[in-house]
Amino acid sequence: MLRTNEDAEEASLRLINEKIGIQLPNFYTEQLATFSNVKRTDQNREIALSYMTYLPYMPDLTAGYGAKEVAWFNVNYDQDCFLLEHHNLTFKTLSEKISVKDFYEHLAKYNDNKHLSADHALILRNAFQRITNRLNYLPTILLILGDDFTLKEAREVYSTFWKQPYQTIDNSNFRKTHSHLFIEAGTEHGKSGRPAKLYKLRETLDPK
């Protein structure tokens, strides 16, 4: 679906607009990976260039070209995978126990629930792995919190990818181990009790 007058990133932004009705030119987008295994689709030979973006809010979605229904999904986790949940529908990322080679060799078996097509379970696993592996040095996932955030909000994001309740991540220890990634940005207003400190990503880490 790449047109002759656009590069891969431009095509991805166009397709997002056409399929789910949102425009993303003002948000940070990064390329995740290229998927070109010869067994990824049953019909024509296709490659997939996947991108990730981090939205500070959830805009309204509109089903467009090739889509019957669109929705935002909550992220949860299981022992060896992540879960994307919306009402009674759950998508699972590919199990961390399954190798890429084995996945493509037995693609029909691993796609037996028919919820995710082709190798999308693998693409999602790669996306979660990318975010998780960078939490301690390039936590761009925190861009979903907006321009600033509290340490509690950051811990809540980290806890999902670390697969543990955020209450088990000690606030003081988290500040010590991750303070090199953040700078103070004032205090929180409009809430009862002691105002919490606000932080933002250091400029060297914020790609915006």
| pLDDT tens sequence across 131-163 | 999 999 999 999 999 999 999 999 999 999 999
Distance between alpha carbon 15 and the CA centroid of its chain, in Å? 17
Flag whether pLDDT at 3 surpasses 90: no
What are the residues facing 201 on neighbouring strands? 182
The H-assigned helical ranges of 41-199 are 100-105, 107-110, 120-133, 151-162, 171-178
> When comparing pLDDT for 193 and 186, which is higher?
186
Alpha-carbon separation of residue 164 from 57, 98, 101, 154, 170 (angstroms):
24, 22, 29, 13, 12
Instruction: Report DSSP letters for 163-202, one per residue.
Output: TS-GGGS-HHHHHHHHGGGEEEEEE--SSSSSPPEEEEE-
pLDDT (0 to 100) of residue 206: 66
Residues 180, 8: Cα–Cα separation, whole Å: 34
The chain-wide mean pLDDT, for the chain, equals 90
* Domain parsing of the chain, residue ranges: 8-132, 146-201
pLDDT (0 to 100) of residue 150: 95
pLDDT digits (tens, 9 = 90+) for 57-94: 999 999 998 888 999 999 999 999 999 999 999 999 99
Element (DSSP H or E) covering residue 92: strand 89-92
Architecture of domain 8-132: Alpha-Beta Complex (3.90)
Residues 3, 18: Cα–Cα separation, whole Å: 14
Residue labelled with tokens 């955020």: 166
Alpha-carbon separation of residue 56 from 13, 115, 156 (angstroms):
17, 27, 15
CB pairs under 8 A, 24+ apart, for 176-181? 177/136, 178/136, 178/139, 178/154, 181/137, 181/139, 181/205
| Entry field: residues in the chain | 208
Same fold, 8-132 and 146-201: no
8 A C-beta contact, residue 148 and residue 185: yes
pLDDT digits (tens, 9 = 90+) for 4-60: 899 888 888 889 999 999 988 767 788 999 999 998 887 788 889 999 999 999 999
146-201 under CATH 1.10.10.10, yes or no: yes
pLDDT (0 to 100) of residue 162: 97
What are the residues facing 31 on neighbouring strands? 51
Residues 10, 203: Cα–Cα separation, whole Å: 25
pLDDT (0 to 100) of residue 191: 73
